[in-house]
Amino acid sequence: MSPARRRAATTHLVRKFKVSERRACKVTGQHRSSNRYVPVPSDFEQRLVAAMNKIADRYPRFGYRRVHALLVADGWEVNVKRVERLWRREGLRVPPPRSKASGQKAL
């Protein structure tokens, strides 16, 4: 289980069952310092996500791999795994292909 999910479970235990943070962390196996940690997104990551969204808006049929290739061509030094992780986090998806006309017309 990821630290973010453990953090959510700990918060749920504290609110719902009125147990202490110490006990909730012990039950979930989360360190209290990790539970209090608030991740701060970096400026680089925010600019990268903005660039990814811009490319995804311009080329809606491109997936994260082709978006990564365009980012690298634009001069970004970023790993494809990071692009994939941010792609999933942002909820970006390639729309399914439209079906082609069968050639028969309705009368």
Domain spans of the chain, in order of start: 3-36, 43-90
pLDDT more than 70, % of the chain = 96
Q: How far apart are CA 82 and CA 89, in angstroms?
A: 10
- pLDDT value at 66 more than 80: yes
- Mean per-residue pLDDT for 10-29? 97
Question: Which amino acid is it at 84?
Answer: E
The pLDDT of residue 40: 87
The pLDDT of residue 104: 72
Question: Which amino acid is it at 79?
Answer: N
Please give the residue that has the higher pLDDT: either 66 or 3: 66
pLDDT in tens, 93-106: 998 888 887 777 76
Please report where in the chains the tokens 């978006």 appear, as a residue: 67
